[in-house]
Amino acid sequence: MATFLNLLIVGLATGAIYALIALGYTMVYGIIELINFAHGDIFTLGTFVTIAILSALGVTAANPPSVMSWVLVSELALACIGSFLFCAVLGVVIERVAYRPLRNAPRLAPLISAIGVSLVLQDVGKLWFGDTNVAFVSLPIGVVHTGLIDIDVINIFVLVVAIVLMVALHLLVTRTRIGRAMRAVAQDRDAAALMGVNVNLIIGFTFFVGAGLAGAAAFIYSLKFPNTYFYLGFQQGLIAFTAAVLGGIGNLVGAMFGGLLIGLIYSLVTLIPPTVLPHGGNAWNNAVIFAILILILVFRPSGLFGQNTPEKV
């Protein structure tokens, strides 16, 4: 029971990171119907920016802090904000350079452009930090002792930060003027433009927020996991994309729920013993996740929260 509860908490924390990344996929698809394959690589660069900012402040993996202090907390906050803003601006630049000129082109053109941008960002990461694992800073964060299990404080922190960001996004989209404009553009771009909505601005803002959430996810990923590498975003992006499809691509609540569910499945699969699956469930995490993606695409392409809608012309 203790092992199950520990894996449950770890799965929720990991799923919260997937949910933040999945929100970027679902926001972009919801507003321009494009699968932004570069999104995962924006996440990767966010992890590199986090390391670079902390290193500039003297917080490195080679010289980790021994105690938590308000100075360290402020440095972590600065790294989080820096990663968010860097990724957000990068997302806007990518939209302006690689996607906007192809907005009215055949659908294959922006898809190929997205794959090209993804490869470029991977090479940028490789040139920046090399093609080997890059260690994150190990923080002096303890555990919370309960009667049954010990909970890592970092898992609680990841969940709290992710939930705050997801609630903030939900309120932004449903309770603000710019959120109404985003929903209008997603529903009918031409009609929104006739009603005075600046479509280019709204699409750019959507990329800003979606990529910024990937930057925030990169920061909390750096706190929970030991290292990063230039190819990290490809794998994490595919898992987050699976979460978005599972919840219903284009549906924000679906992306949140899908991310948490995928994180739980990814974690709990490790309980499967080697007598059931060769080498145990830990060797089959990715296979299970992508099998879910295939099944969803075959039997319920609209996802758990999505609705079958006619294709936009």
Q: Which residues contact 168 (CB under 8 A, 6 or more apart)?
A: none
Q: What is the pLDDT of residue 113?
A: 94
Which fold does the domain 1-299 belong to in CATH? ABC transporter involved in vitamin B12 uptake, BtuC (1.10.3470)
Where residue 45 falls among pLDDT bands split at 50, 70, 90?
Answer: very high
Q: pTM score, two decimals?
A: 0.91
Residue range 72-87: average pLDDT?
93
Where residue 120 falls among pLDDT bands split at 50, 70, 90?
Answer: very high
User: Among 118-127, 210-219, 293-302, 303-312, which stretch is predicted with the lowest mean pLDDT?
Assistant: 303-312
Containing 107, the helix (H) or strand (E) segment is none
Give the other-Cβ count within 10 Å of 309's Cβ.
9
More confident site: 250 or 28: 28
Q: What is the pLDDT of residue 266?
A: 87
- Residue 310 pLDDT more than 70? no
Q: 3-class DSSP state for residue 220?
A: helix
Q: What is the pLDDT of residue 214?
A: 95
Q: What is the pLDDT of residue 248?
A: 87
CB 42 within 8 A of CB 216: no
Residue range 39-58: average pLDDT?
94
Give the other-Cβ count within 10 Å of 170's Cβ.
15
Q: What is the pLDDT of residue 309?
A: 52
Which of 28-32, 83-87, 144-148, 181-185 is modeled with the greatest confidence?
83-87
Q: What is the mean pLDDT of the chain?
A: 88
Q: What is the pLDDT of residue 313?
A: 47
Q: Which residues contact 304 (CB under 8 A, 6 or more apart)?
A: 246, 247, 248, 254, 257, 258
Q: What is the pLDDT of residue 297?
A: 83
Q: From 261, 267, 268, select the one nearest 293 (Cα to Cα).
A: 261
- Residue 24 pLDDT more than 70? yes
C-alpha span between 246 and 249 (Å, rounded): 8
**pLDDT above 70: percentage of residues in the chain:** 97
